[in-house]
Structure 1
Amino acid sequence: MTATAAQPLLVAAFGLLGLLTSPLAELLITWSMPRLGGLPSPAIRFTTAVATAVLFALMTLRFGLSPALPAYLLLSVLAVQLSRVDIAHHLLPNPLVLVLLASGLGLLTMSAVLVPDWPGLLRAAAGGVILFLGYLILGLISPGGLGMGDVKLSAPLGMYLGYLGWTHVFYGGLLGFVVGGVVTVLMLRLKRGTKPSEVAHGPAMFAAAIGVALLVA
């Protein structure tokens, strides 16, 4: 079978993996963090499973069977779950953010060893620090606009973007605020919130980072 013929099967296989990974992730989150309540409704679970499957397929198209793929699959499943929790509870739980950071760093280190790509790993570390400091400064200046959960989330996102390049860090960090602003305006116009601080910023950060990772060469 040719590589061209095998690619749709590979993408479909990883999409199915994402479909199965999502409910498992929700079970683990519910078991380890009971304070978040029980499992989400069937409609939400279906939505998160489909979203995870789509992201797994897109990441497979973007990275192929490269050593970096596992790291970005982890980003995909946790992006969906953290976005779900943030929308429902306006909370980005520290344990999940820490898993994204520590496990992501481990997987990116493995990728850097196998490729090898040590400059990429150093850039990932620097990207995480730079984006974290930028968000921290903004969070201290305008605590009503950014929560500390958003500040902490910027570290792993900067790391993932930094591994791909400095351009990714720049656009990923910038577009996070752009997407967040657009979502805030839309939510307020739909009268689903009464002030900007009620709109979860985590999903916008994930959308910008994943969009840049997928689309920027």
Structure 2
Amino acid sequence: MSDPAAAGTASLLLAQPLGSVADVLFIAGVGLAGACLGLLADIFIKRALPRLAGSPTVRTGITTAAVTFALSALLAWRFGFSPELPAYIALAVAGVQLARVDFIHHLLPNRMVLPLLGAGLVLLGAAAGVSGEVGNLLRGIAGALILFVLYLFLALTSGNGLGMGDVKLAAPLGLYLGYLGWSHLFYGGAVGFVAGGVASTVLVLKNRGNKPKEVPYGPSMLAAGLAVILLLP
């Protein structure tokens, strides 16, 4: 006759791996979906902004898809099956494309930055409606305004190479960071600015003291923002 306690323990042990497998499949599936969305974003850029698309190599395409996959998978691990996840996947997909364009062309086009802001408002608004956390959305909107005004002030007064594209990118970043909390907004904005300064210094050293007229701050801002989103509770 079987022992009920032993049977229950065995069932629990069998259930745990299944849960882990389900989590892994979910994370991998979200990563794959993010990579596919990244490929669709490539097609959109080629059609809407052919001058910026250029002629990407196979290596560039694979690298872009791999980075988007990794970020999407990490965001799935961070947020789990939550209403906020689609919004942050959109940030990852658009962020990779924006970073690539800014790194190559030193440009953050309105036709990429403004849709990111609009998508963030819609997706985070829907998430706030589902979860009942409308305060998060209001904080995110306040964060967008705060970071936008701060970067505008820095661009006008510091003369450190910040462009209006960087200023406009600060708005969606502030929205996504502020939605999660004031600490996310503070650290995301501060680390992004510092990282951009470090990148500018590296470029100066690389060019033997001749500071380039345009510095791609966008990749640093996006990398810092996504890092804070992933790492800060």
TM-score (norm 2): 0.88
Percent same amino acid at aligned positions?
Answer: 51
**What is the CA distance between 1:3 and its match in structure 2?**
3.2
Equivalent position of 1:122 in the other structure:
138
Does 2:43 match 1:27? yes
CA separation in 2, counterparts of 1:193 and 1:54? 35
CA separation in 2, counterparts of 1:184 and 1:46? 27
Aligned length: 217
Moved more, 55-64 or 40-49: 40-49
**What is the CA distance between 1:33 and its match in structure 2?**
1.2
User: Contact 2:161–2:214 at 8 Å: present in 1 too?
Assistant: no
The correspondence for 1:90, drawn from 106, 109, 116, is: 106
Does 2:72 match 1:56? yes
Equivalent position of 2:220 in the other structure:
204
Pick closer, same or farther for the CA change 1:39–1:115 going to 2, 3 Å. farther
Moved more, 195-204 or 70-79: 195-204
Does 2:170 match 1:150? no
CA separation in 2, counterparts of 1:15 and 1:210? 15
Equivalent position of 1:15 in the other structure:
31
Equivalent position of 2:177 in the other structure:
161
The equivalences for 1:27-46 within 5 A come to 27-46=43-62
CA separation in 1, counterparts of 2:208 and 2:38? 27
CA separation in 1, counterparts of 2:24 and 2:185? 30
User: Contact 2:203–2:211 at 8 Å: present in 1 too?
Assistant: no
Q: Render the CA deviation track for 1:42-67: whole Å, top value 9, x for unaligned.
A: 11111110000000000000001100
- Give the letter aligned to residue 150 of structure 1: D
Q: Root-mean-square deviation (CA), in Å? A: 1.7
Equivalent position of 2:22 in the other structure:
6
Unpaired stretches in structure 1, ≥5 consecutive residues = none
Q: Render the CA deviation track for 1:175-209: whole Å, top value 9, x for unaligned.
A: 00111122223334344994154331000000110
**What is the CA distance between 1:172 and its match in structure 2?**
0.4
